[in-house]
């Protein structure tokens, strides 16, 4: 199969592109190489992909007429590209253009792909709001510009299933961790600052927040399992993550255990829109995709520490 992966040099997109390639598919990666975070990491990911024979096209999806740049004979689209997370440095326009306008342009491109079997939108548990413990049928209550715009993007994609223009689904991911995690995310920052013996900035009260910290390999298992299940997943929203909850404090302690040292903590002001609890309800994923994440938090941290030391220490 010929598969297009957007956001291919990002964290989860790069892992998915590699997995799809290992399964024998022809993978074309697309990324705009945004400087939202270090291009060093993105270039490192890109090098890993191209070394395996995965082609990377540098393209901003906010630009129209994508069919003149991207191949139109693809069988699947996995859409990871987005303005990620909750950040004080990102404007509403950043979220709006990268998450909504870019998705609309990609949909317009997909409509010109005559062989398209499935458009897979990558959503987020942030769509649910401050508490993300629900089945997919619950009404979403996003509490951030990120969550709001990702919900809009999701609905734009699923609209095409309702119109019977092409088959589509949306996968809502939960608190993904592991090698290649972005530099500003919790575990990469904990590892980096822990090794440097510098203080980790902890948002006030977040030590008790509960998260479904899910290893990226377990997420990719669920993502790629939609292939061959187009009829089952068409028009569906599906949660992917672990049902096991850990507090932020337990996450810190896991990193301390692997590093063999105590991490200094600097408590800072609360962050608006931050989720209080995420626990993936994956009953639907189990039923439709036989999804069964297995990696423990401690093992996930071990893999991430090993990757960080190999590439950045």
CA–CA separation, 102 and 98 (whole Å): 5
What does each C-alpha distance from 187 to 16, 192, 235, 281, 299 come to in angstroms? 20, 8, 34, 23, 13
Query: Could you list the active site residues?
Result: 146
* DSSP E strand stretches across 42-162: 55-58, 76-79, 118-124, 131-132
User: CA 27 to CA 5: how far, in whole Å?
Assistant: 7
State how beta strands 168-173 and 200-203 pair. unpaired
Task: Using alpha carbons, select from 67, 29, 62, 70 the residue that is nearest to residue 47.
Answer: 29
- The string of DSSP codes covering 95-110 is HIIIIIIHHHHHHHHH
Question: Whole-angstrom Cα distance, residue 171 to residue 277?
Answer: 19
CA 207 to chain CA centroid, Å, is: 23
H helix runs in 4-56, sequence order: 11-22, 39-50
């Amino acid at each position: 199969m010929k598969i297009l992966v957007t956001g291919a040099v990002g964290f989860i997109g790069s892992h998915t592109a590699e997995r799809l390639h290992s399964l024998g598919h022809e993978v074309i990666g697309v990324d705009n190489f945004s400087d939202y975070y270090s291009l060093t990491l993105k270039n490192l990911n890109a090098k890993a992909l191209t070394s395996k024979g995965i082609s990377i096209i540098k393209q901003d999806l906010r630009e129209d007429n994508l069919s003149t740049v991207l191949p139109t004979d693809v069988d699947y689209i996995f859409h990871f590209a987005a303005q990620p997370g909750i950040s004080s440095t990102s404007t509403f326009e950043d979220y709006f253009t990268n998450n909504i306008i870019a998705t609309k342009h990609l949909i317009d491109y997909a409509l010109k792909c005559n062989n398209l079997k499935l458009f897979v939108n990558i959503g987020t548990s942030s769509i649910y709001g401050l508490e993300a413990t629900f089945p997919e049928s619950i009404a979403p209550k996003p509490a951030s510009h990120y969550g709001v715009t990702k919900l809009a993007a999701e609905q734009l994609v699923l609209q095409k299933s309702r119109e019977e223009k092409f088959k589509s689904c949306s996968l809502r991911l939960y608190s993904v961790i592991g090698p290649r995690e972005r530099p500003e995310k919790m575990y990469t920052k904990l590892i980096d600052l822990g090794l440097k013996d510098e203080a980790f900035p902890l948002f006030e009260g977040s030590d008790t927040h509960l998260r479904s910290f899910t290893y990226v390999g377990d997420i990719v298992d669920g993502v790629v399992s939609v292939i061959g299940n187009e009829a089952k997943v068409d028009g569906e929203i599906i949660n992917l993550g672990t049902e096991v909850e850990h507090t932020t404090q337990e996450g810190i302690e896991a990193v301390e255990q692997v590093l063999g040292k105590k991490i200094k903590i600097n408590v800072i002001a609360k962050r608006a829109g931050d989720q209080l609890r995420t626990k993936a309800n994956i009953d639907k994923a189990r039923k439709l995709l036989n999804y069964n994440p297995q990696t423990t938090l401690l093992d996930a941290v071990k893999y991430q520490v090993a990757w960080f030391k190999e590439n950045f220490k």
